[in-house]
């Protein structure tokens, strides 16, 4: 019975030592390295997402300004058509749109 008790104590001691930092330094170091790399990659992904949203907002502003400019150009097309008829457009007074 004493032999069985000594075997259990030895087994318990072996199990306790196998969970310590002294016996397994490399796996814990790898865990910390991978956790740090994951955190850095998450921060990079957040920064890229914020940058993408910012670029999208700028594109929306540019498209709305372009639409406004195109509406003004469309309003000016009859005047341009009248100017490009190769006759003296200054003889026309008032509304020069012929539509």
Query: CA of 90: how far to CAs of 13, 41, 79, 80, 93, in Å?
Result: 107, 67, 12, 13, 7
In angstroms, the first-to-last Cα distance of the chain is 114
Q: What is the pLDDT of residue 1?
A: 46
Q: What is the pLDDT of residues 33-79, one digit of tens each?
A: 999 999 999 999 999 999 999 999 999 999 999 999 988 888 887 77
Residue with tokens 């026309």: 92
Domain extents in the chain: 2-91
Secondary structure (DSSP) of 24-77 = -HHHHHHHHHHHHHHHHHHHHHHHHHHHHHHHHHHHHHHHHHHHHHHHHHHHHH
């Amino acid at each position: 019975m004493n032999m069985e008790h000594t075997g259990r104590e030895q087994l318990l001691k072996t199990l306790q030592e196998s969970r310590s930092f002294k016996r397994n330094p490399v796996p814990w170091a790898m865990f910390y390295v991978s956790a740090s790399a994951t955190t850095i990659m998450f921060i990079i992904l957040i920064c890229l997402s914020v940058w993408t949203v910012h670029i999208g907002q700028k594109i929306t502003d540019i498209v709305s300004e372009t639409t406004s400019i195109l509406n003004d150009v469309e309003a000016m097309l009859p005047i341009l058509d009248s100017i490009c008829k190769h006759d003296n457009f200054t003889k026309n007074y008032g509304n020069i749109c012929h539509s």
